[in-house]
Amino acid sequence: MVNYRVDNLEELLKVLTEEGVTIVGEMESYDYGNFGWILDPDGNKIELSEPK
């Protein structure tokens, strides 16, 4: 799985949803960061992380 570090994950997931990107599950928050997952057009899972 590919992992990308992003700023403001919550807002990014909202924008991606509006653009029709498939979001996998719910964003998860931990002491060390936030994580979310999407699918690319080929169905590959991509992890998005926002470190704290």
Supply 35's token pair. Answer: 């994580």
**List of E strands, the chain:** 2-5, 22-30, 33-39, 45-51
Q: How confident is the model at residue 50 (pLDDT cuts 50, 70, 90)?
A: very high
Average pLDDT over residues 30-45: 97
Average pLDDT over residues 22-47: 97
Determine if the pTM surpasses 0.95: no
pLDDT at 4 over 90: yes
**Residue 1, pLDDT score:** 82
